[in-house]
Structure 1
Amino acid sequence: MDKIVFGFLGTTLDAGFNAARWERWRPTVSLCQQEDVLIHKLVLFHGGGKGELLKLVAADIQRVSPETVVEPVLMPIKDPWDFVEVYSALHDFVRRYPFDTQAHEYLVHITTGTHVAQICLFLLTEARYFPAKLLQTSPPQRGGYPDTGQVAVVDLDLSQYNQLAARFEEERQEDLSFLKFGIATKNAKFNRTIEEIEQVALRSQTPILLTGPTGAGKSFLARRIYELKKSKHQLQGDFIDVNCATLRGDGAMSALFGHVKGSFTGALQARAGYLKAADDGLLFLDEIGELGLDEQAMLLKAIEEKRFFPMGSDKEVASDFQLIAGTHRDLAQDVRAGRFREDLFARINTWLYTLPGLKDRREDIEPNLDFELDRIANQLGKKVRFNSDAKKVYLQYAMDMGTEWSGNFRDLSASLLRMATLADGGRIDMPNAERELQRLQHRQRQSDSERSAKQQALDHPDWLALQVELDAFDQVQLAYVVQVCRETTSLSEAGRRLFQRSRQEKKISNDADRLRKYLAKFDLSFNQIRQW
């Protein structure tokens, strides 16, 4: 990779205008004379008052190393011994610089400049603002200079520098705002959660587990965590988003861990898999509770060892990925029920955060409106806003404690998309809002009716009499089967839902027959349950 070096022009050490300068050790020029270190670009910070010296040093570098491009950068520092001023100037520069660690190797030369400049370069590199290695040069051993220079004592207790502390806090608030999509959320609990996630994300590579109802924003937050870490040069690879609920059987193994050609029927080509694709990046496994026990075992090994076997291969593959897992399930309950491995749960459970649903963040509905409308504007190609009266009526319903929002922020986004699509002149007016409220109210009545029907079934005399004869385990299991039968229109459809996973392991699946036999154990039938 090309080497790019950052350093200060040494106004004393690099000086010299006559031929005798070639007999002296000049750090910046000597750096480019090293036979085993080819510098492709030298970013040279200077204060602006040594123009002739800058031109001479650049010309001398061109003479000894024609391959090196010198890029002067004006660093207007009034007092080069003022720690706050020097650090702030370098900090501003490094936050704007377009680092690309995939294409370039970065080095920071700390030999030239004042002691304060050298210390600031060290601190910024140590904190990974410069994603680089430190480079120290020194004169030949036989060299020496009678001038001992100046001695300055620099207090490195950064806590006393209120200006720097304020800058750090300002940057942290920017990071928090980034994780919240720039939305001024008002929910105190959610804000505390995001504050801790920001700290953990930037200080740890340990897996993070995000729980919460469907539509609470787990996938969005995982991507923002990735983008934040990548902006700090902590990740170089890609963000790989996987919905584990879509992975089944051999397809799950292949999708996650890859396979070699011919490892199973239909494996016509080798496949790298999601874990390998996430190398040096972030892997988000949404609905991790849907993975089978075999996949869970292999995932645990991959998390702990950063190595795994693709399907059909006897050679391990390495992938240094960071993991965020998401689920709407109670994984602790799944562990107790034997559906989720206890050791994997312990491994991903170090940092557990529950994202509240929309019903628990009603005060954040209003701040989310403009954010969602801006996002929708990119989708529709037009900017849409509420009329004040329409917004008032919509918010009154949206924030009411009786409004469900069962799909959480996805439901809210879909509702706003419908209104924005139908908005004339870029404005959501009162008729538009009222039509949408009618849709939402109709859907909620349907949902209430379905819940009522479920409760009616569980209050039926036949069910109540049967409960007395059943163990608690059978009661819970059968109650779920009854619920599925009530929600479907045929015995086959109910069977497919109930045996969705195990049916894939059978060459011939007869879901209706399996369900019929199960119900018969309790002297029940599908039609009987449908009539409750």
Structure 2
Amino acid sequence: MKKQYVIFHASPDCNDTSESVLFECVKSVIDTCVSGDVAVDIIHILYLQGQKKIADKTAKEMSEQYPEIEIKLDEGPSYKEDIHQDNFWQVYTTFYNFYNAFPFDYQKYDYFLYLPQYKGTINTIAIVHTLNYLRINCKIIQQNITSDNLDKSSFSFSPFDLKFADYLLAIRKMKMESLSNLDFLRFNIQTKNKLYNGIMNKIEKVALNSTSPILLYGEPGVGKTKLAKQIYELKRKAGVLTGNYVEVNCSTLKGEGLISTLFGHTKGAFTGAAGARSGLLKVAHNGLVFLDEVTEIPVSEQAMFLKALEEKRFFPLGADTEVSSNFQIICGTNKDIDSEVAKGNFRYDLLARIGLWRFELPPLRERKDDIPSNIAYELEQYTLKTTRAVKFLPMALKKYLAFALSEDAQWEGNMRSLSASIERMATFSTAGHITIDVVEDEIKELQSFKVNKESRTNDKFPILHSLLGSKIKDIDLFDKFCLEGVLAICKKAMSKSEVGRILFASSRLHKQKTDDTTRLSSYLRSHGITWEQIRKL
């Protein structure tokens, strides 16, 4: 049968100058364990620095009163009462080193850990996070002990479920409550970029002073969804909105599914409609709807949405009676919406309605000065998600930043790419530290993505790639498209003269003397290609 091993962390309250206080603290823990059907065989007292004499006397008195219990003494990690987020890592490292070296023997002992509740709560979080990260198997005794209150009835024996993430969330909440409107808007969006900050300044004014739709556009991963949610939170903080935030990805919905999702439906409106359902526009009454990929709404449904947007009234699918909803709208797209209008894929009148306030969010490669702060942000997000606190070793961070800020890192997926990169490194970290080896492996991974992307790009320029191979990477995208088109004509034509007549049909009409073959040869030669090479394809 295993022995019951209790680890006692003495708090400052239990280390009063009077040794009787520490004795009563330890005695109360033992009594609490016994009352919880835990027969203590060993109690390991971790006293604070400078309290060894008191601890020695306490151990002697405990041995006399509890001769059946083995008493162990050691100086424990130092508690602090003024811990905040900035120096948390120092405290966490202290507890980590202590417990990482502790000689746990699960074959012989069941472990119990006493944690006091007192002012320095962050110490408790550091301990619990350490136990969680090191996968230490023990039960927690949580008590509230002060030198003024040693009544046994104030103690309890229970599981302890405080997570490190809870502390971070509390810190974030307190920070957000004290922020100005602009800082609040930027709280989850880490930026020092002048252009991006200018955009945020405008959005803050629009969010607080206008109820008209906002259109956010930019490449995938630039942060449209996050910004939409933050705009909603700002409006709600300012009392502009009181209702729900609703998010819809329009690319996942078509036909009746889209109509039903946005406008709702009655029972029996279509096959499978077993009951009535409120649409998301109704759910967002006095709130905000974010329509991501708004250009994916079919033209046939765009008129219905425009009417609902203008009148704030609409018919659920299958209904004879209109419903009303006072919702606000933010739309997002990664397409050139003006081009979609020109192609007939998007209604001009709908664009005019949703595009009163249009903001283009720049890609990460155009604001690389934001990468360092976003690395810290993504590490914090990883901790919130996994309760594992991870950070870079200094040289590893220097190496990663050197790559991340270079031209080799294009961040095609923008913040999604950076977030994925940080998560991969955090997952492979050792003892909460991202090492140079982990960074080097990640850089290789990111470079392999670039190679694969170039391979996919080459599929768009098969003739050019077959002629130039890897040299294609040195040609601008504009020239690639032009040159590929010229080469396609060259392949089909029987002679350079025929190619010249096709390519220069307009300009040759205004010239007294034409020399199309010379122009063609000169153009091809400027890119290192000859007519003979083309004929061999």
What TM-score, normalized by structure 2, do the two folds share? Answer: 0.54
Tell me by how many angstroms 1:307 deviates: 0.3
Counterpart of 2:305 in structure 1 is 299
Partner Cα distance (1:252, 1:463) in 2: 44
**Counterpart residue type for residue 447 of structure 1:** K
Counterpart of 1:365 in structure 2 is 371
Tell me by how many angstroms 1:314 deviates: 1.3
Q: Equivalent of 1:448, from 445, 449, 454?
A: 454
Partner Cα distance (1:338, 1:392) in 2: 49
Tell me by how many angstroms 1:256 deviates: 1.1
**Counterpart residue type for residue 418 of structure 1:** R
Contact 2:248 2:290 in 1 (8 A): yes
Counterpart of 2:413 in structure 1 is 407
Contact 2:215 2:332 in 1 (8 A): yes
> For 1:29-108, what aligned pairs fall within 5 Å after superposition?
none
Partner Cα distance (1:270, 1:171) in 2: 39
Partner Cα distance (2:213, 2:305) in 1: 12
Structure 1 runs of 4+ aligned residues shifted over 4 Å read: 170-173, 460-469
Counterpart of 2:329 in structure 1 is 323
Does 1:174 find its partner at 2:180?
A: yes
Q: Equivalent of 2:385, from 364, 379, 396?
A: 379
Contact 2:282 2:325 in 1 (8 A): yes
**Counterpart residue type for residue 301 of structure 2:** E
Partner Cα distance (2:321, 2:189) in 1: 47
Partner Cα distance (1:294, 1:280) in 2: 27
CA 1:449–1:247: 2 relative to 1, 3 Å: same
Partner Cα distance (1:464, 1:374) in 2: 56
Tell me by how many angstroms 1:179 deviates: 1.9
Q: Equivalent of 1:263, from 269, 275, 279?
A: 269
**Counterpart residue type for residue 244 of structure 1:** C
What TM-score, normalized by structure 1, do the two folds share? Answer: 0.54
Q: Equivalent of 1:236, from 242, 261, 272?
A: 242
Counterpart of 2:395 in structure 1 is 389
Contact 1:380 1:421 in 2 (8 A): no
Partner Cα distance (1:202, 1:464) in 2: 59
Tell me by how many angstroms 1:212 deviates: 0.3
Q: Equivalent of 2:441, from 435, 445, 452?
A: 435
Partner Cα distance (1:451, 1:443) in 2: 12
Deviation digits for residues 414-445 of structure 1 (CA, Å, limit 9, x no counterpart): 10001111111111111111111111111111
User: Secondary structure at the residue paired with 1:379?
Assistant: helix
Tell me by how many angstroms 1:182 deviates: 5.4
Partner Cα distance (2:460, 2:339) in 1: 23
**Counterpart residue type for residue 362 of structure 2:** P
**Counterpart residue type for residue 349 of structure 2:** D
Tell me by how many angstroms 1:177 deviates: 2.2
Partner Cα distance (1:436, 1:381) in 2: 22
CA 1:175–1:464: 2 relative to 1, 3 Å: farther
Tell me by how many angstroms 1:294 deviates: 2.2
The structure whose Rg is larger is 2
Counterpart of 1:416 in structure 2 is 422
Partner Cα distance (2:412, 2:184) in 1: 26
Q: Equivalent of 1:199, from 198, 205, 215?
A: 205
Q: How many residues align?
A: 303
Contact 2:191 2:370 in 1 (8 A): yes
CA 1:373–1:352: 2 relative to 1, 3 Å: same
Deviation digits for residues 346-400 of structure 1 (CA, Å, limit 9, x no counterpart): 0011100000111111110011111111011011111111111111111111111
CA 1:182–1:283: 2 relative to 1, 3 Å: closer
Contact 2:190 2:377 in 1 (8 A): no
- Structure 1's unaligned 5+ residue stretches are 1-169, 473-531
Contact 1:282 1:324 in 2 (8 A): yes
Contact 2:225 2:292 in 1 (8 A): yes
The percent of aligned pairs where both chains have the same amino acid is 45
User: Secondary structure at the residue paired with 2:303?
Assistant: helix
CA 1:466–1:232: 2 relative to 1, 3 Å: farther
CA 1:466–1:171: 2 relative to 1, 3 Å: farther
User: Secondary structure at the residue paired with 2:321?
Assistant: coil
Tell me by how many angstroms 1:173 deviates: 6.8
Tell me by how many angstroms 1:187 deviates: 1.1
Tell me by how many angstroms 1:261 deviates: 1.1
CA 1:323–1:457: 2 relative to 1, 3 Å: farther
CA 1:264–1:202: 2 relative to 1, 3 Å: same
> For 1:113-512, what aligned pairs fall within 5 Å after superposition?
174-181=180-187, 185-457=191-463, 459=484, 462=488
**Counterpart residue type for residue 293 of structure 1:** V
Contact 2:463 2:488 in 1 (8 A): no
User: Secondary structure at the residue paired with 1:454?
Assistant: coil
Deviation digits for residues 77-99 of structure 1 (CA, Å, limit 9, x no counterpart): xxxxxxxxxxxxxxxxxxxxxxx
CA 1:444–1:257: 2 relative to 1, 3 Å: same
**Counterpart residue type for residue 374 of structure 2:** N
Partner Cα distance (2:274, 2:463) in 1: 50
**Counterpart residue type for residue 204 of structure 2:** E
Partner Cα distance (1:360, 1:381) in 2: 32
Partner Cα distance (1:275, 1:427) in 2: 46
Alignment RMSD, CA only?
2.4
Partner Cα distance (2:433, 2:256) in 1: 50
Deviation digits for residues 160-215 of structure 1 (CA, Å, limit 9, x no counterpart): xxxxxxxxxx9997322222225552211100000000010001100000000000
